[in-house]
Amino acid sequence: MIAYHFPPLAGSSGIQRTLRFAQNLPALGWRPLVLSAHPRAYPSTSSDLLGEIPPDLVVQRAYALDTARDLSIFGRYPGWLARPDRWLTWRLDALRRGLQMIKRYRPALIWSTFPIASAHLIGADLQRLSGLPWVADFRDPMAHDEYPRDPKIWASYRRVEQIVFDRARHCTFTTPGALAYYRQRYPRRAADISLLENGYDEASFLAAEKKLVAASPATRAQGPLVLLHSGIVYPWERDPRPLFEALGRLAVEGTLSPSQLRLRFRGSAHDQELAQMAQAAGVSGFVELCPALPYEEALAEMLSADALLLLQAANCNTQVPAKLYEYLRAGRPILALTDSAGDTATTLRAAGLQDILPLDSAEAIAAALPTYLRKLAAGGLALADAGVVAAASRSQRTAALAALFERLSECPALASS
């Protein structure tokens, strides 16, 4: 299992996919081996998930650097060392270590996950030299319309993509929109592309529930409603400015005040930009910017928030934030600011949730928010369907992955084309 995102990396929900697969696969008859990058290459680290790596899991870490941080001189570095990504340096040592692992453990398959794109290059290298079946996992689309914005990186992604669809036995995507997009782009491989959504880890939620401290009704009644956004706020893909503008309008009208509502951004990774946006809109009093928490504590906060806020722009319509599945399991009302035609909205509606507003329309948000908050205060908002939530557990997703592994390990090799 080739994955850049793995503990002790901090700040990425992508860690959860590989970690939970690695935890759950042994119960289904598969022994995972993990090949990841050395922690020195990570932008930040945290020890909170290290204890969840199974003690008998084989983990090899390849020498790696962050080109932009470690190889720059006065802020400049050779562009080719950061294409397709800034961690390209791990490719060489990962190949060496991967071949050693293949020789020693004789695995049945290779699995790699994007992002980071260089993980797929390592998967392709190992597949070419070993002949093993290779499953390429895409947590996001790679080279698509207007992304990446840098044309050289876009071209690099496109080349990696072509390598994947030439050599991988099978590809998995996390959303129906991405699945359809790539089946159309690579029609000859359409039968070798399938859906494997993200999910939530039930054991982590059970542990988080033990951390909850119930607030007294009297204390809770005196404070503002808390609308929580947990996780990174990408300024372009999850732009909160229309929301801030709507709050500003409602405040000027006297319809809403900071004593009634608090927007809490937990671990946004862009606190300075958010603070500037809030100040420009005159809504700093509504906004709390809070540091990231250890994983289980972050889940506990979701469980205790009055409602959960989801931001997703229309240019990400073929993506679903991994956080959404944790929001569903948290069992709290969700306010989604996203395009009603996107996969995020479709996933919410499938769970019985209808509180969806366009992210880019301050007018629509301002018109609907007071009613939403009145229903929230009265306990009148719908919660996610229990059956849909249960089906989205990481253990269920791992069962689907194991079934794919079983099928591929019994198939003849992919014919060259």
User: DSSP labels for 181-235?
Assistant: HHHHHSGGGGGGEEE----B-HHHHHHHHHH--PPPHHHHHHSPEEEEEES---T
Is the distance from CB of 37 to CB of 4 less than 8 angstroms? yes
pLDDT for residue 386 is more than 90: yes
Please write the tens of the pLDDT for every residue from 284-329.
999 999 999 999 999 999 999 999 999 999 999 999 999 999 999 9
pLDDT at residue 279 in the model: 98
CA angle 188, 193, 198 (to 5 degrees): 160
Taking residue 400's Cβ as centre, other Cβ atoms within 10 Å add up to 15
Rounded Cα distance between 251 and 123, Å, is: 53
Instruction: Answer whether 0.85 is exceeded by the pTM.
Output: yes
Same fold, 14-199+393-409 and 203-391: yes
> Which phi and psi angles does 63 have, rounded to 5°?
-55, 130
134: nearest Cα among 184, 189, 83, 171: 171
What are the boundaries of each domain within the chain?
A: 14-199+393-409, 203-391
Q: Which two tokens stand for residue 398?
A: 């791992």
Rg of the chain on CA atoms, in Å:
22
Q: Is the peptide bond before 8 cis (omega within 30 degrees of 0)?
A: yes
Task: Choose which CATH entry (2.10.109.10, 3.30.70.20, 3.40.50.300, 3.40.50.2000) describes domain 203-391.
Answer: 3.40.50.2000
Q: Which CATH class is domain 14-199+393-409?
A: alpha beta
pLDDT for residue 411 is more than 80: no
**Measured between alpha carbons, how far is residue 128 from residues 52, 116, 160, 244, 322 in Å?**
32, 20, 14, 51, 31
Please write the tens of the pLDDT for every residue from 79-132.
989 999 999 999 999 999 999 999 999 999 999 999 999 999 999 999 999 999
